[in-house]
Amino acid sequence: MFRELNHAKCKTYLIASDGERKAAIIDPLRDRVGLYLGFLAYHKLALDMIIDTHTHADHRSGARDLSDLTGAPVVMHRRAPSPYVTMHVDDGDLLACGDLEIRVLYTPGHTPDSISLLVDGRVLTGDVLLIHGTGRTDFAGGDPATSYDSITGKLFTLPDSTLVFPAHDYRGHTRSTIGDEKRSNPRIAGRSREDYVQLMNHLGLPLPEGIQEALQPNQCEVDAETMPFPNLAQLSQVRQLSPQEVFERIQRPNPPVLLDVREEGEFHGELGHIPGARLIPLGELPERAKELSALKEREIIAICRVGQRSTTAAAILTGLGFERVWNMKGGMLDWNEANLRVER
């Protein structure tokens, strides 16, 4: 069984195994969770997994709500910032949903955590490749050159007959094929990498309505209704340090304060934490910022899993009058990949 459940511009797909009656839901919307549960119940399907193809900026994800209600794991790429992800995947990983096999393709460019899903002659492309279009690359972490490489080097190597199902469509299309997109997609067909980068850098698209109310809660435990978030301009002004630069600074006689804003389970989990780091989860930061008031003259480096929640934390502290705040770009994922010391 393969169904698109929303019948709207934002697409949510259900893939189900007829034999074992197990289902995967891809890119659920928070305000449609009841509809999805009703569909599962009507068709006597057990929800086996929930997959977000990337961190969405234009709507609230329903992944966490579905997981809380059903117990099904949430699957995202390893560079996804959200702490509620149960299973992190990478390029080439295989997911079993009953007797169906879903292959993960890492296709960054729209976001750093974008994946596509290949299953039974179909590829679900998230927002990287659209029908007769491509996903914008001007959000934080987006990159047009990487998008071009993902589309031409990964998706366009699939058989021409592969059916394409994107996470959005604004023109009434329901599906395409890889062959059709290679021949006639006006954004990318026949363009060089340089031409594509030039085009994408000058689209001038308006930001999605309510982007802050969707994007920030999708990447952290905090609800925008309970904590005001910095705007995109404030986030873009946060100063960034690489893990190696952070390592060098903490070797100095007067080292910076390391502020880890993940949840406690992450702090002591797989990626561990930098020795000496102080844990204040992002959702607690505004009310606990006074704990840092005596450190206003010190350098403060905010840290999280991949550097997105910590960018928010750094912007919040800057707005509260902390003048020497940085963010560790790439977070604990890049710190670990640099083989720097951690504690758990």
- Tell me: do 157 and 291 sit in the same domain: no
- Tell me: do 164 and 294 sit in the same domain: no
d(CA 56, CA 215): 6
The count of domains in the chain is 2
- Tell me: do 184 and 253 sit in the same domain: no
Q: Is residue 211 part of a domain?
A: no
In sequence order, what are the residues at sequence separation of 6 or more whose Cβ sits closer than 8 angstroms to the Cβ of residue 169? 9, 11, 130, 131
Asked whether the predicted pLDDT for residue 139 surpasses 90, the reply is: no
- Tell me: do 279 and 150 sit in the same domain: no
Q: What's the pLDDT at 225?
A: 62
Asked whether the predicted pLDDT for residue 223 surpasses 70, the reply is: no
Q: What's the pLDDT at 221?
A: 67
Containing structural domain, residue 64: 2-200
Asked whether the predicted pLDDT for residue 261 surpasses 80, the reply is: yes
- Tell me: do 233 and 193 sit in the same domain: no
* Mean pLDDT for the stretch of residues 112-140: 95
d(CA 94, CA 96): 7
Q: What's the pLDDT at 194?
A: 97
In the block, which residue shows the tokens 């780091």? 277
**Amino acid at residue number 264:** E
Asked whether the predicted pLDDT for residue 21 surpasses 80, the reply is: yes
- Tell me: do 13 and 116 sit in the same domain: yes
- Tell me: do 196 and 322 sit in the same domain: no
CATH code of residue 156: 3.60.15.10
Q: Is residue 37 part of a domain?
A: yes
Q: Are 23 and 97 in contact (CB under 8 A)?
A: yes
Query: Could you tell me the CA-to-CA distances from 171 to 51, 130, 251, 298, 303 in Å, in that order?
Result: 25, 11, 55, 52, 41
Q: What is the CB neighbour count within 10 angstroms for residue 341?
A: 9
- Tell me: do 89 and 196 sit in the same domain: yes
CATH code of residue 258: 3.40.250.10
